[in-house]
Amino acid sequence: MIEIRGVHKSFGHLEVLKGIDLTVAAGSVTVILGPSGSGKSTLLRVINHLEKVDRGHVRVEGELIGYRQVGTKLYELRERQILEQRRDIGFVFQTFNLFPHLTAVQNVTEAMRGPREAVQRKALELLDRVGLADKAASYPRQLSGGQQQRVAIARALALDPKLVLFDEPTSALDPELVGEVLDVMRDLAKAGTTMIVVTHEIGFAREVADTIVFLDEGRLVEQGTPAEVLDSPKHDRTRAFLSKVLV
Partner 1 sequence: MGFVDVLTSIPQTAAEPERLTVVPARHPWRWVATAVALVLVAQLAHGLITNPGWDWATFAGYFFEKSVMQALLVTLELTFLGALLGFLGGLVLAPMRLSKNRVLQSVSWTYIWVFRSVPLIVQLLFWANLGYLYETLQIGIPFGPGFFHFETKSLVSSFGAALLGLALHEAAYAAEIVRSGIVSVDQRQLEAAAALGIPRLRQFRRILLPQAMRAILPTAANELVNLLKSTSVVYVLAIGEIFYQVQVVYGRTGRVVPLLMVATVWYVILTAVLSVFQHYVERHFNRGWRR
What is the binding site for partner 1 (CB under 8 A)? 48, 50, 79-80, 83-87, 89-91, 93, 95, 97-103, 110-111, 139-142, 155-156, 159
For position 238 contacting ligand ATP by CB under 6 A, the verdict is no
What residue ranges bind Mg ion (CB under 5 A)? 41
Q: Count residues contacting ligand ATP (CB under 6 A)?
A: 10
Cβ atoms of 33 and 214 closer than 8 Å: yes
**41 CB-near residues (< 8 Å, 6+ apart):** 167, 168, 198
What's the CA gap between 62 and 43, in Å, rounded? 19
Contact flag: residue 41 with ligand ATP (CB under 6 A): yes
Between 34 and 161, CB nearer to ligand ATP: 34
Distance CA 56, CA 4 (A): 8
| C-beta of 97 vs 223, nearer to partner 1 | 97
Is residue 170 near ligand ATP by the rule CB under 6 A?
Answer: no
Shortest separation between residue 243's beta carbon and partner 1, angstroms: 33
Sign, CA dihedral 151-144-92-198, equals negative
Q: Is 11 exposed, middle or buried (0-12, 13-18, 19+ CB in 10 A)?
A: exposed
Q: Is 220 in the site for ligand ATP (CB under 6 A)?
A: no
40 near ligand ATP (CB under 6 A): yes
Report, in Å, the least distance between residue 86 CB and partner 1: 4
3-state helix, strand, coil in the chain (%, to 5): 40, 25, 35
Q: Least Å distance between CB 159 and ligand ATP? A: 24
Written as one letter, the residue type at 120 is Q
| 234 binding partner (options partner 1, Mg ion, ligand ATP, none; Cβ < 5 to 8 Å by kind) | none
**Shortest approach of Mg ion to residue 167 CB, angstroms?**
6
Binds ligand ATP by CB under 6 A, chosen from 20, 39, 65, 199: 39
Least Å distance between CB 42 and ligand ATP?
3
With 0-12 CB in 10 A as exposed, 13-18 as middle and 19+ as buried, what is 190? exposed
Strands 73-76 and 14-24: unpaired
Residue of this chain nearest to ligand ATP (CB atom): 41
Q: Which of 217, 208, 153, 162 is nearest to 181 (CA)?
A: 153
- Of the two residues 98 and 182, which places its CB atom closer to partner 1 in the complex? 98
- 42 scored as a contact of ligand ATP (CB under 6 A): yes
Tell me how far apart the alpha carbons of residues 171 and 27 are, in angstroms, rounded to a whole number: 24
Using CB under 6 A, list all residues that contact ligand ATP. Answer: 11, 16, 34, 36-42
